[in-house]
Amino acid sequence: MKAPSVHETVILTLILAGSGVIGGLALTVGTPDPSCPRGEGIARTFTIIADLDGYNGSKLRGGMEPSMTASRCDTITIRLVNRDFQAHWLAVTFYAVNGIEVIKDDTQRITFQAVKAGVFRVYCNTQCSVHNFMQSASLTIT
């Protein structure tokens, strides 16, 4: 059997080094928060009204509302009530990135367990006439 060429050795070294870097990133960046023990946390429900004034009147406050707070391991339900003639969406970074659509005069819910602490953006992910005022709501998990 012939010894590998310098070119083959360099390629193999690069592949192994790249695998090590990717594996290390997965261990440090991709490590999830520990799961919540059964029965820990409480149920919390937040209601957001979507209308021509944004989320809960956020248009009147520069688009910076509402702010919601819960604890890690709580079960969170966010109700979106649409009192507008146009459809609105609601998404939450990390927890509900695909979001939900709520048509005129309807109510929809997103429910999830707060397994990760942090501040998460709550926003509309579709264009509408008050879209800019539905981009900066927040959910803080402590």
Do 86 and 120 share a structural domain?
Answer: yes
3-state class (DSSP) for residue 54: strand
Do 69 and 16 share a structural domain?
Answer: no
Are 117 and 139 in contact by the 8 Å Cβ rule? The answer is no
**Confidence at residue 130, expressed as pLDDT on a 0 to 100 scale:** 76
**Confidence at residue 14, expressed as pLDDT on a 0 to 100 scale:** 52
**Confidence at residue 28, expressed as pLDDT on a 0 to 100 scale:** 42
Provide the residue range defining the domain that includes 132: 43-141
- For residue 15, being part of any structural domain is answered with yes
Stated pTM of the model = 0.72
**Confidence at residue 23, expressed as pLDDT on a 0 to 100 scale:** 52
Do 80 and 25 share a structural domain?
Answer: no
Do 2 and 54 share a structural domain?
Answer: no
- Please classify residue 25 by burial: count the beta carbons closer than 10 Å to its beta carbon, then call 0-12 exposed, 13-18 middle and 19+ buried: exposed
**Confidence at residue 65, expressed as pLDDT on a 0 to 100 scale:** 82
User: Which residues of the chain carry a pLDDT beneath 50?
Assistant: 21, 24-29
Do 50 and 26 share a structural domain?
Answer: no
**Confidence at residue 46, expressed as pLDDT on a 0 to 100 scale:** 97
